[in-house]
Amino acid sequence: MSRVNVLSTRTVNYLELVGNGKRYFVPPYQRDYSWTEEQWEDLWNDIVDLLPNPDDRHYMGALVVQGESDRDFCIIDGQQRMATLSILSLAVIHRLNALADEGVDPVANRERAKELRNRFIGERDPASLIEVSRLTLNENDNGFYQDYLVQLRPPLNPRSLSRSNRLLWDCFKYFEARIGNLRSINRDGAALARMLAETVARQLLFILITVDDELNAYTVFETLNARGLELTTTDLLKNYLFSRVKTPSDREALQRRWRSLLTAVAPERFPEFLRYHLLCEQPKVRSQRLFKLVREQVADSVGVFKLMGTLEARAELFAALSDPNHHYWLERSEAKPFVRELNLFRVQQMTPLLFATWELFSPEDFIRILKLVSVISFRYSVVGRLNPNELEQEYHRAAKAVLDRTAARPAAVFEVLKPIYVNDEKFFSDFANLVIDTGGQRRKLAKYILAKLESDLSGRHCDPETDPSTIEHILPENPSEEWEQMFPRAHWESQVYRLGNLTLLESSANRRVGNAIYEEKLNAYRGSAYQLTRGIAEIAPEQWTPELLDKRQRQMAERAVHIWRADFA
């Protein structure tokens, strides 16, 4: 683990967590309760397995808390487990009270319920005589938890509850039913109390990590996240922002705006969105430094709302860049093909530049930038397969130049991006040797390239999304022995997925020719509606050889150089 001022890292059982008057609270604006029956059942089965094995232990994972005092702790990660164990405790207590009401050892069972309540749920303050809860949930869940679950009061209309409140209630009902069905102990108050006080309290273990401030909490959080634990970076960032806002009215306003922001940007993509936002101004932003950078920039409510304003202005565009059918493009249909290409190429490093140009360029010039970054991406990433780490810094430089107004036109942006614009000579060479496996997602890429070549060659637009053609392998993927006469077997594996061996063909013709020998395929090629395919017979009228494949691909490369060329080159 990276160097962090961790106050303690130790293994503790559930009783040690909640004993000695310790209190835990979930930050007001952390995510709501979300566990469902799948998680409840896993926990219940683990507990049932432990019942006959008092020497066994079960690890519940890491619990990350921030110490506020020697008794009060803010839960950074682990609120779902803490809430669920509390509800399980309440279900046991409820069962003991029910047994007492039925006349089953009433005095002892009421005393057991009282003692378990003091130990796991809350205890009375000796001065005020007010019960102090050991667990406080977030703003949306705590009222229901304290007023209904802790008081063992059923809600009047469970269907009217919010989703998270309904899950809390369903969790209680789930454990209530499971305890009732546990025939070996469901009417034995002593055994029920022992299940909670011994099995749950002493055999469930946590790795308790206590940190002293938000930055260290975030560092631990990121380390755990890298190890595969189910953590949400968005939650921690959100908690920090809300902690900087002090007045109730500002918190309410921030809550409304935060919800709207995460409607546009999915919570799981928010850290990525925030990183690209910061890359507009910062030359290098690692995911692990997000929290530190936000904390440096945002110290109070003014900083929070300033950050929110900028994020809100960019959120819709960020979401739309991942979806060519997003409503954002309804009035900007010229952008759709380039957005589709960028998604096909699976590149995102240009996002900061697109943020900047959308804000400061005209719609027409923004689309020219979209086209430019698509061409750069195709030359650099798709065909050249060059180091993607270089892209982020160059796109930051371009975004900064736009925001500083030193690059006020698309041509000036191109000048900044020249270091990552692959020149024609190298692009020709890379394209002439391009190999594309036509399985899975790569099939779409192969069809896109072939459709662009067909459009340029025939003068007729060929849309790879809607065109009914299929990809034909001239040398089949599974050649018969007859192919060895003109295409040596030693070349089959290395040549079958070269672009020069691929073409577009009507699906009926493709099914008909299948793995046939070349002479039989020629008739289908000559009758094809695709000029790219008809041209095969001109290049190879009698046989298909590695030399002719190479010749065809070099012709394709010559055409590609002017198809995928920047307007400013």
Q: What is the pLDDT along the chain (569 residues), one digit of tens a residue?
A: 344 445 567 889 999 999 888 999 998 777 889 999 999 999 999 999 999 999 998 888 888 888 888 889 988 888 999 999 999 999 999 999 999 999 999 999 999 999 999 999 987 666 655 667 999 999 899 999 999 999 999 998 998 999 999 999 999 999 999 999 998 898 999 999 999 999 999 999 998 888 876 656 656 655 555 443 344 567 778 877 888 888 889 988 998 999 899 999 988 899 899 999 999 998 888 877 787 788 888 989 999 999 999 999 999 999 999 999 999 999 899 999 999 999 999 999 999 999 999 999 999 999 999 999 999 999 999 999 999 988 999 999 999 999 999 999 999 999 999 999 999 999 999 999 999 999 888 899 999 999 999 999 999 999 999 999 999 999 999 998 889 988 999 999 999 999 999 999 999 999 998 889 999 999 999 999 999 999 999 999 999 999 999 999 999 999 999 999 999 97
State whether residue 72 is helix, strand or coil.
strand
> Helix or strand or coil: residue 229?
coil
Domain count, the chain: 3
In a domain, 263, yes or no: yes
Parent domain of 276: 233-429
d(CA 130, CA 407): 65
Measure Cα distances from 303 to 195, 199, 245 in Å: 50, 48, 10
Nearest CA-CA partner of 149 in 88, 208, 87: 87
Largest CA distance in the chain: 101
The gap between the terminal CA atoms of the chain, to the nearest Å, is 48
Q: Report the C-alpha gap between 398 and 373 in whole angstroms.
A: 11
Domain boundary among 226, 245, 270: 226
Q: Please indicate, yes or no, whether residues 164 and 250 belong to a single structural domain of this protein.
A: no
* Proportion of the chain in helix, strand, coil states, percent, rounded to 5: 60, 10, 30
Residue pair 549/359 in contact (Cβ under 8 Å)? The answer is no
How far apart CA 401 and CA 141 sit, in angstroms, is: 47
Q: What is the pLDDT of residue 67?
A: 85
Whether residues 68 and 195 share a domain: the answer is yes
Q: What are the residue ranges of helices labelled H in 73-187?
A: 79-101, 106-120, 142-144, 163-180
297, 368: one domain: yes
The CB density around residue 266, as the number of other CB atoms within 10 Å, is 13
Which of these three, 392, 411, 429, is where a domain ends? 429
CA distances from 129 to 119, 122, 123, 132, 507 (A): 16, 12, 9, 9, 81
Is the domain of 306 the same as that of 397?
yes
Alpha-carbon distance of 431 to 429, in angstroms, equals: 6
Both 353 and 368 in a single domain?
A: yes
Residues 248 and 191 in one domain: no
Q: Report the run of H or E that residue 254 belongs to, with start and end.
A: helix 248-264
Quote the distance between the C-alpha of residue 456 and its chain's center: 38
d(CA 364, CA 401): 19
* Residues 64, 80 within the same domain: yes
Is the distance from CB of 338 to CB of 323 less than 8 angstroms?
Answer: no
pLDDT score at 239: 75
Same domain, 444 and 416: no
Q: Which helix (H) or strand (E) holds 208?
A: strand 204-211
**End position of a domain, from candidates 203, 226, 249:** 226
Q: How many CB atoms sit inside 10 A of residue 444's CB? A: 14
* Same domain flag for 382 and 270: yes
Tokens of 232: 């949400």
CA dist list (Å): 526 to 447, 482, 508 = 20, 21, 14
Task: Give the C-alpha distances (Å, rounded to integers) separating 165 from 83, 85, 92.
Answer: 12, 16, 20
Q: Are residues 301 and 165 in the same domain?
A: no
CA geometry: angle 241, 248, 271, nearest 5 deg: 20
> Is residue 569, in this structure, part of any structural domain at all?
no
Are 459 and 369 contained in the same domain? no
Q: Is residue 82 part of a domain?
A: yes
Q: How far apart are CA 545 and CA 538, in angstroms?
A: 14
Does 1 map to a domain? no
pTM over 0.75: no
Q: Is residue 53 part of a domain?
A: yes
pLDDT of residue 230: 43
Domain assignment of residue 568, yes or no = no
Which residues have a Cβ under 8 Å from the Cβ of 483 and sit 6 or more positions away? 475, 476, 489, 492, 517, 518
* CA pair distance 348, 355, nearest whole angstrom: 12
CA dihedral 492, 498, 500, 506 (to 10 degrees): 90
- The CA distance from 67 to 22, in Å, is 11
**For residue 8, what pLDDT is reported?**
61
Q: Report the distance separating Cα 307 and Cα 302, nearest Å.
A: 9
Residues 175, 240, single domain; the answer is: no
